[in-house]
Structure 1
């Protein structure tokens, strides 16, 4: 919106889609790992079967239908910016929230990162020369996790009252992802591959909440939600009949799982400043 560009149409919006400015292959609730791989680890994917591999298949179909040759795709995409993710968070959500331990879930991190790594290879094959690969959020600051793993142990929380162990898990994923990006840079020295530091972009909101106009007493609470210390309930999530706060722009969390538009706006500002030089873009 700040750049004056339209939103990217979803690929499956076949009625009136305009793909001249780009395409969005993302699916709500999707995972990095295929659902059958997660099922083999006793992790259910309840929202969609359209995992990352399915989305990449759509991307291949789209480029194969719009490019005459692979060289044609390379030429068309030389000025494009690819976002590969943020993905992987739902793989962990579907494991942690039902009760798997962090140590158990750590075992699938290498597989999740490898799936993201292969996705980057796939977009490069089609001609991507600038790729952003975002990391995971500090999930221990999200109302859904704060509610699910609430404890009387004050040592479990950091200075912002986020759950330290869950944030450490996010850091573990992000370190593994950054190592994978280093490998990809060696593999593709002529491609600009940049890590999107969602973790610290989000922490920026907490460290500057008052200055940015957020209600400091509600920074851990969902705007659209009900019940408990975090205005969130797993059985009564944001939707019909659930109250909404009077000023969403003063909240960081929209529904306990996703952020408000205001929060994403400031995150975007932080990320652009962090990444612009490394993306080698001109403005």
Structure 2
């Protein structure tokens, strides 16, 4: 019976895809001059590469033809958002070389969490740039670029800098929280993690409030995906007990925790709307899109959603994408598959460009958003 209910829910999701925002199509689209993004590796366009060791080949080679600071073979969801809004790809705030910030900046870094974690990136890959640090960086960025803009004497000197008046008109995007769950799975019992969820979402709400206080008005907030479907969580599982995996082969308890986290997040976003009456805050159900594709991969033209394109995995031994390791005395390279466009998972943690594009096609029209507005209308409801 439970299986049938889930299938019916998925059927409703797919029926709903593509029909969002019908009542808004006659309205003028928002003219977002910039995007400011906060998040983790799902939307990092070069931050962690600039701060630490660059992401190696074959990352990036499917679109950029070289490593390009992204944990994918090509573009991420945030890149498709920029394309959809006719804006350039976002430069990472931490990348100071030949960067153009006229149309926004990206403060996301791979491994980031909402709450600060008491460990280094060299232990479990957790970034030191938690969400509160990203907001501090944004505040510094805004202050410094405003100063430089006002001091500039020619249009050329200003050409790579944000216009001060654009901050209030920009779109502020958030895609973060997945790593808070992964840390929780590693360090806490499920009961402890559940107890921590209100504080985690409150800290995200505080970040939104701080940007609002600085004039930000349009917010686009992604929930977290089905973390139990990430192949990395399945690499070393042997003979799982009955009920450990769901009908699609994902770790059920982890997915249940993601759903619970998203419920807390949505409730907090609803409260934020009352607390920030001049803002337009859109909650985006990325989880529905990701789980919808994973559960219907074959019909959508993809391979087994739990298979990894890049990396070497056999008999519970794994070599990470782009790395070299010794297995049974033999040197093995974690190479890319021949056709990444057929894979949902790129490296076991991150999605392929093809999957990200699929998500974008089913998210940006507003059909999985609350309120159901397309991203081009995400400023509707902003008050002066």
Q: TM-score range by the shorter chain?
A: 0.7 to 0.9
Matched, 1:92 2:181: yes
| Alpha-carbon distance between aligned partners in 2 of 1:149 and 1:5, rounded to the nearest angstrom | 43
Match among 340, 351, 355 for residue 263 of structure 1: 355
How far did residue 34 of structure 1 move? 1.5
Rounded to whole Å, the distance in 2 between the matches of 1:162 and 1:198 is 17
- 8 Å contact from structure 1 (residues 221, 232) kept in 2: no
- The corresponding residue for 1:237 is 320
Query: 1:232: Cα distance to partner?
Result: 7.3
1:11 aligns with 2:93: yes
For the residues of structure 1 that align with 2:124 and 2:340, how far apart are their CA atoms? 30
Using the TM superposition, give the Cα deviation of residue 116 of structure 1 relative to its aligned residue in structure 2, in angstroms. Answer: 0.5
Structure-2 change in CA distance of 1:159 and 1:45 (3 Å): closer
Check the 8 A contact 1:74/1:127 in 2, yes or no: no
| 1:189 aligned residue | 277
Q: 1:23 to 1:164 in 2, by over 3 A?
A: same
Report deviation, 1:265: 0.5
Question: Where is the helix percentage greater, Structure 1 or Structure 2?
Answer: 1
The structure in which a higher percent of residues are strand is 2
Query: What are the ranges of 5 or more consecutive residues in structure 1 without an aligned counterpart?
Result: none
1:63 to 120, 142, 166: 142
**Cα offset for 1:149?**
5.0
Task: Note the aligned Cα RMSD (angstroms).
Answer: 2.6
Aligned to 1:251: 343
SS of the residue corresponding to residue 220 of structure 2 reads strand
Q: Which residues in structure 2 correspond to 1:24-39 (within 5 Å)?
A: 24-36=106-118
Indicate the structure whose relative CO is greater, using CA pairs within 8 Å and at least 6 residues apart.
2
TM-score normalised by structure 2 residue count? 0.64
* 1:46 CA displacement: 4.3
Aligned pair count reads: 267
2:246 counterpart (158, 164, 187): 158
TM-score normalised by the chain length of structure 1: 0.85
Query: Against the structure 1 CA distance between its residues 176 and 264, is the aligned structure 2 distance closer, same or farther, given a 3 Å change threshold?
Result: same
The structure having more radius of gyration, on CA atoms, is 2
Q: Distance in 1 between matches of 2:306 and 2:373?
A: 33
Question: Is the CA contact 1:181–1:195 (under 8 Å) kept in the aligned structure 2?
Answer: yes
SS of equivalent to 2:364: helix
